[in-house]
Amino acid sequence: MALVTYAIVALLVGGAFFGFVAALGLVRLPGFFARTHAASKGETLSLFLTLAGVALAIGEALPTVKTVLLLLFALLTNPTAAHAISRAAFEEGVEPWTVDGGEEGSEG
């Protein structure tokens, strides 16, 4: 019983950590595409770990099945949405950040 509790805590702490890393990447990284990458990858992993911890905490019940289905839906849609947003931005002319070019949109 204590092993399951440790697993739940580890999953929830891991989810909180990767959520924090995703938020930090959104604030600290330069450029739209780097921020999109950090947010989508970190948020997806954070959501996966957190929902896995919730599913373990609930146990054997119908809400566990719903949580796992939500987890699978998020794993399919989050990366797809991030890719679609990034591709639309690229097609609209948003330039990737480079070391030589400096900030986005700057004449350089």
Read off the pLDDT of residues 52-69 as tens digits, 9 standing for 90 and up: 999 999 988 899 999 999
Instruction: Answer positive or negative: Cα dihedral of 72, 76, 81, 83.
Output: positive
Read off the pLDDT of residues 81-104 as tens digits, 9 standing for 90 and up: 999 999 999 999 988 888 876 555
pTM exceeds 0.85, yes or no: no
Task: Please state the length of the chain.
Answer: 108
Please state the domain extents for the chain.
2-91
Residues 6+ apart with CB under 8 A from 30: 97, 103
